[in-house]
Amino acid sequence: MKKTYLILTLFFGIINWSFSQVQEKIKSDLNRGMELINQNKLEEALKEFQKIIELDSTGANGIAHNEIGYIYLKMKDSTNALLWLNKSIGINPRYPKPRINKAMTYITSRDLDNAIKSLDEFINELPGRPEAYYQRGNIYDYKGENKKAFRDYKTALYYNQKLNVLPKPLVKKLEEYQLKN
């Protein structure tokens, strides 16, 4: 009995240690991939994130899939960007970054109707995210739909008070916009 207990303890200890080693490797590869994106070394970054997915099919809960989608967005490959961003959303529906990147993919493709649809989904599924309202407000502003833009900017400021995710210069710009309208 003691021998079985010892073997099981050793077995689970090894598995636990192995799992933590993999998690550390994933974390390291995520950081390296992000650094490579910041240096605009997109092909190298793509390889880093693909390595993460080989180690963990969820890609660290959708993060690697989002970053691959973002890389394709930067490469102006909207088909692959949307493919990877949708995979990220499928893995982790609560992760906001692939949703904003998906909208940006449509915006850069000049498909504003799908960008708005994408942001509407974002808002319906993750209510209270200021970046979604801000981005949709930008589209409405561009289209000359000032009342809708104003409403979204106002909502973005409201939710940003809680989450504080919008950059301070942007918040200042939105506050000035609100004063003018």
Q: Which CATH number fits domain 2-107: 3.20.20.70, 1.25.40.10, 3.40.190.10, 3.30.1490.20?
A: 1.25.40.10
E strand segments, the chain: none
pLDDT by position in tens, the chain (length 181): 566 654 545 444 444 444 455 578 778 888 999 999 999 999 999 999 999 999 888 878 899 999 999 999 999 999 999 999 999 999 999 999 999 999 999 999 999 999 999 999 999 999 999 999 999 999 999 999 999 999 999 999 999 999 999 989 988 888 887 787 7
Comma-separated ranges of CATH 1.25.40.10 domains in the chain: 2-107
Residue 5 is predicted with a pLDDT of: 55
Query: Torsion angle, CA of 37/51/86/130, rounded to 10 degrees?
Result: -40
pLDDT at residue 25, as a whole number: 79
